[in-house]
Structure formats: structure tokens, C-alpha cells
């Protein structure tokens, strides 16, 4: 299945989807050293974003969260790609400076946690490989 | 979004990595918020200064940006820094050095309009401190969105910002009329009102009827409190603010605010003096009028405070207070004027359990950080404090 959205940054990635149904705060919500989600309000608390395709509705919290995304990348614990419903300033800026492929305007309800998905940010697309997963 | 030839070249990396990244941020935001083009800005004001907020992640990014030759292309000032232990202060100095290396004026204040960075009506800006954004839009009539730290930095480097949101005339109209029936007279009453409306209205553009602020400081506090508990970046006050005459459109929703609603906030922030370790005046940073008032109140009080008083202010205002003799009076009564810093972006919880303040904004952040808060008017704080 192919989901059509919009390109925020460039690039392509394929990996396991880590799906949060709630808005995600990066500052204070994800440990920049380990990539583990620590946001107590998050439904993916305790999971690692490292090498995942991180899927969530939108960012929230401090705009300094952009720098956390940058540090995740420098520490090699960043997600391979970011997929959201609505891009806003925090996550979009973070994805740009960290050079992580990112798309928005995706109906994330169609993506299941643990599915293998492919993000083609250049085309603004997410491809779900049915049946594949962990 | 339309880009000029030169903007296209910047985006393609012809002018180096730092400008390219900055341009990528502006273009992405422009696309997300459907701007038609980039517009030049007169100045930038950057948040994300306290080490407590930006952390090692921010330092790392800023260092890489400086190494890549990042320089601001318009006049740019900074938000206040944090205060902490020696290790903290070393990191804090590093942050300031990195901003300085980009050509930013290290005037660390949330009230740049009291000196170093005073916009005029109609200027387009990229400011990020929420209370300063509110002041610039509402009281001055300049135009800025509520930028994040990184997006204001990108705008400062390129010298432009995407043309959307509050840069556009149509988005500056009121979205709700607020009829103030409550008694709103003193500084702290504006804190209560702002605190209440920020929670209630989120990101509306309120139009106030029935407000007669004696001082601009009161409007500053109203805006700061609304921007703290909500995300209001622009408001109009009938007969007071520069754009009120063109702000009203047909069929606006009306709400009323009466004494009962404001009393609830007063009761919420009513910690006893036995729980208070310090008094804070100057959130946002105090004006010279506020400092003069405190000095006069202290003289009337006649004996030094046992609970230390901190007044946070910009350097411009501090130097004025020094030369006018107010600083000397304040220090004599166990007060201190602190420059370049902000207690709400400092690791304050390790020093204090409770704070008394006249600021609705400070009350909101201190209580979120788990401190006890007493929110009251300046004169009662000075007279009633132990």
C-alpha cells in the first residue's frame, strides 16, 4: 500500500515502524544519548527510536527539541526517517539540521507498529509492505 | 513558495553549508505554513540561550554551525541566560561565545525593546521570546510570528522570514472580544487576567474592552502571562494599542471575565511567607519604572528584607538604575538587580522551595517546576515580606 503525503526533507529509508498515537516532545521526551523515549505521556515510552521509522501525529513542547533531534543523529541513535500527520516547526527544523528524511500529511492510522515501511521523502510517499514485520 | 534567483542559489549550497541549512529551514516552514515568499526582516531575537534549555544538543549544533561559518545578516539579540553552579556556568559561557561568534549582540534579555532592539510600527521581525513577541506585535505594532530558537536563528542568518501568520494583515484581526468586568487595576491584576485568558483562549487574537492600563508595564505583563499559559502572540486593547481600530470584524464571539475567575488564580498561588525563600520582580525583565517603584516601596518599608529580593533586568535598565541611585537603595534593603539572566530558565529548584512574585508568567513556570508560589502585587510583596 502506498500513502501519499508531502516532502519536508529529502532522502529515502526503509525500516521498522515505531508508531506513537500521541504528539511527541523531543526536549525532555527522548534521551539524546540513547534514543530511548522518556516522555511520561508517550505511548511508546521505553522504546528506542534508533534506526526506526518514527511515526507520530505531530511534535509538541519546546522548540529546542530540534536540537535534540540533531544530537540523536550525532550520537548514532536517530530514527532512519520521520513520518507525521502534520509537520510543525520543531520536528521539521530538527529533521532538516539532522538530515533525516521526513514526510508529512500521511494518514498514520494506516501504519501499524512493527511493520516494515519504506519512506521516499523525495516523492513524499510511504510504502507499507503488507505481511512483513517483526 | 516563490524564491528569487539568489535564494535558489543559497538553497543549492552555493554560499556554503550554514546559509544552506538556514535557507532549508525557512523554505520548509514556508511550505508547511503556505507562505508565498520570503520577506526581509529588520531584526531577530533568539531564544534557546539557557544551557538548561538547549543542553549539550544545542551546544553541539551551534558549534557545528559556527565552524561552518554561520554569521547573522541582520541585527540580532539574545534571550536571557541561565544561572547555575560552576559547571553549568562554564557551559552557559560556551553558548554565549558561540552566539557571539555568529555576530549576535550578547544582550541577554527578554525585553530588548527597552534598549538594544527597539522595532517600529509595521517592521517585520523574527523574534522568539514569547513575551517579547507579544510586546512587539501588540504594543508596538511590529509583525512577528512566535518563532522557535532554531527558526529565529535561521531567519537571522538569511535576513528573511517566510511570509505567513502574523506578517499578513488578515491574520492580525481579533478573533474574540474580551469584556473585562473584573476589577483590573494593579500590575498583579494584569497577571491574573493574562494567566486566565492564556489558558482559556490558547492561540486566539483577543480584543479587550474595558481595560484602562495605567502603565505600559501592565500590558507587558498581560501579554507575557497570556503567552506563557497559552500561545497568544497578539492582542488588541480598545483605545490603547496601535492596531485596535482595524482589528474588529463582524460576528466575533464575546466572552466576559469577572472577579470570580481571577480570584481562583489568586487562591491557587497563595503560598504562605513561611514557604517562600526569595522574591522575584522582573518577569519579563523590569523596566526602569518598575525598578523605581520597588526602590520607593523599600524606602517606605524602612527595614531590610529577610527574604532576598531579585529583580531581573536588562543591562540597559540596570545601568540607568545605577546612575539614578535606585540600585543602591535596593541593595541596602537586601535586594539585587540581576542582569542577563532569567530565573525560570535556571536550575532554581535546587536552591529554593518557594518564590513570591508579581508575575503571572513566572508563577506558571515556577509552579510547573514544582515550586510553591505566592503571586501578589508589588507593594504588598515589599510591605508584607519578612
Interval A75-126: pLDDT, tens? 999 999 999 999 988 899 999 999 999 999 999 999 999 999 999 999 999 9
> How far B203 CA sits from the closest chain A CA (Å)?
15
Instruction: Give the pLDDT confidence score for residue A132 in this predicted structure.
Output: 59
Residue B148 to residue A93, Cβ atoms within 8 A: yes
Contacts of B22 in chain A (CB under 8 A): none
Mutation target to probe the A interface, by most A beta carbons within 10 A, among B11, B61, B228 is B61
> How far A81 CA sits from the closest chain B CA (Å)?
16
Residue A129's pLDDT band (boundaries 50, 70, 90)? confident
> How far B351 CA sits from the closest chain A CA (Å)?
21
Looking at the complex, does the CB of residue B154 fall below 8 Å from at least one CB of chain A? yes
Residue B352 neighbours by CB distance under 10 Å: 17
Instruction: Give the pLDDT confidence score for residue B196 in this predicted structure.
Output: 96
Q: Which residue in chain A has the smallest CA separation from B19?
A: A97
Contacts of B21 in chain A (CB under 8 A): 96-97
Instruction: Give the pLDDT confidence score for residue B231 in this predicted structure.
Output: 87
Residue A96 to residue B24, Cβ atoms within 8 A: yes
Residue A67 to residue B150, Cβ atoms within 8 A: yes
Instruction: Give the pLDDT confidence score for residue A133 in this predicted structure.
Output: 57
ipTM for the predicted complex comes to: 0.82
Looking at the complex, does the CB of residue B61 fall below 8 Å from at least one CB of chain A? yes
Q: How far apart are CA A5 and CA A126, in angstroms?
A: 8
φ, ψ dihedrals at B56, nearest 5°: -65, -30
Instruction: Give the pLDDT confidence score for residue A40 in this predicted structure.
Output: 79
**Across A35-39, A40-44, A54-58, least confident range:** A40-44
- Is residue A62's pLDDT more than 80? no
> How far B338 CA sits from the closest chain A CA (Å)?
25
Instruction: Give the pLDDT confidence score for residue B183 in this predicted structure.
Output: 95
Residue B29 to residue A93, Cβ atoms within 8 A: yes
Residue A131's pLDDT band (boundaries 50, 70, 90)? low
- pLDDT beneath 50, residues of chain B: none
Mutation target to probe the A interface, by most A beta carbons within 10 A, among B21, B32, B57 is B57
Amino acid at each position: 500500500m502506498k500513502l501519499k503525503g508531502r516532502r519536508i526533507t529529502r532522502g529515502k529509508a526503509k525500516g521498522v515502524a515505531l508508531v506513537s498515537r500521541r504528539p511527541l516532545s523531543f526536549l525532555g521526551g527522548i534521551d539524546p544519548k540513547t534514543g530511548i523515549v522518556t516522555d511520561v505521556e508517550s505511548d511508546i515510552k521505553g522504546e528506542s527510536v534508533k534506526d526506526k521509522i518514527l511515526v507520530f501525529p505531530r511534535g509538541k513542547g519546546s522548540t529546542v527539541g530540534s536540537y535534540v533531534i540533531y544530537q540523536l543523529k550525532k550520537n548514532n541513535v536517530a530514527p532512519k526517517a520521520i513520518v507525521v500527520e502534520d509537520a510543525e516547526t520543531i520536528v521539521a527544523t530538527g529533521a532538516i539540521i539532522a538530515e533525516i528524511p521526513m514526510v508529512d500529511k500521511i494518514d498514520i492510522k494506516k501504519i501499524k507498529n512493527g511493520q516494515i515501511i519504506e519512506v521516499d521523502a523525495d516523492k513524499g510517499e510511504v510504502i507499507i509492505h503488507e505481511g512483513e514485520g517483526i | 513558495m516563490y524564491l528569487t534567483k539568489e535564494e535558489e542559489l543559497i538553497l543549492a549550497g552555493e554560499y556554503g553549508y550554514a546559509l544552506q541549512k538556514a535557507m532549508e529551514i525557512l523554505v520548509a516552514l514556508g511550505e508547511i505554513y503556505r507562505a508565498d515568499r520570503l520577506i526581509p526582516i529588520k531584526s531577530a531575537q533568539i531564544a534557546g540561550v539557557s544551557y538548561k534549555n538547549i543542553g549539550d544538543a544545542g551546544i553541539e549544533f551551534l558549534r557545528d554551525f559556527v565552524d561552518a561559518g554561520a554569521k547573522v545578516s541582520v541585527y540580532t539579540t539574545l534571550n536571557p541566560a541561565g544561572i547555575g553552579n560552576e559547571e553549568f556556568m562554564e557551559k552557559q559561557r560556551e553558548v554565549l561565545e558561540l552566539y557571539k561568534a555568529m555576530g549576535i549582540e550578547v544582550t541577554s534579555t527578554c525585553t530588548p525593546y527597552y534598549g538594544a532592539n527597539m522595532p517600529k510600527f509595521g517592521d517585520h521581525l523574527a523574534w522568539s521570546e514569547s513575551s517579547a513577541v507579544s510586546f512587539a506585535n501588540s504594543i508596538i505594532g511590529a509583525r512577528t510570528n512566535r518563532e522557535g530558537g532554531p527558526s529565529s536563528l535561521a531567519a537571522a542568518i538569511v535576513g528573511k522570514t517566510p511570509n505567513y501568520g502574523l506578517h499578513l494583515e488578515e491574520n492580525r484581526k481579533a478573533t474574540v472580544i474580551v469584556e473585562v468586568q473584573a476589577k483590573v487595576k494593579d500590575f498583579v491584576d494584569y497577571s491574573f487576567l493574562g494567566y486566565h485568558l492564556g489558558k482559556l483562549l490558547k492561540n486566539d487574537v483577543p480584543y479587550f474592552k474595558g481595560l484602562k492600563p495605567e502603565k505600559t508595564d501592565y500590558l507587558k505583563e498581560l501579554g507575557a502571562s497570556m503567552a506563557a499559559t497559552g500561545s497568544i502572540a497578539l492582542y488588541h486593547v480598545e483605545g490603547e494599542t496601535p492596531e485596535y481600530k482595524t482589528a474588529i470584524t463582524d460576528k466575533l464571539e464575546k466572552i466576559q471575565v469577572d472577579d470570580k475567575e481571577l480570584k481562583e488564580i489568586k487562591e491557587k498561588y497563595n503560598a504562605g511567607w513561611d514557604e517562600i525563600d526569595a522574591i522575584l520582580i522582573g518577569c519579563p525583565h523590569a523596566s526602569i519604572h518598575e525598578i523605581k517603584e520597588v526602590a520607593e516601596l523599600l524606602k517606605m518599608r524602612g527595614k531590610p528584607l529577610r527574604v532576598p529580593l531579585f529583580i531581573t533586568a536588562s543591562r540597559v535598565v540596570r545601568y540607568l538604575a545605577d546612575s539614578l541611585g535606585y540600585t543602591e537603595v535596593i541593595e541596602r534593603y537586601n535586594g539585587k538587580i540581576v542582569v542577563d539572566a532569567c530565573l525560570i530558565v535556571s536550575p532554581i529548584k535546587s536552591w529554593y522551595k518557594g518564590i513570591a512574585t508579581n508575575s503571572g508568567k513566572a508563577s506558571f513556570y515556577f509552579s510547573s517546576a514544582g515550586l510553591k508560589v505566592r503571586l501578589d502585587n508589588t507593594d504588598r510583596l515589599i510591605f508584607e515580606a519578612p
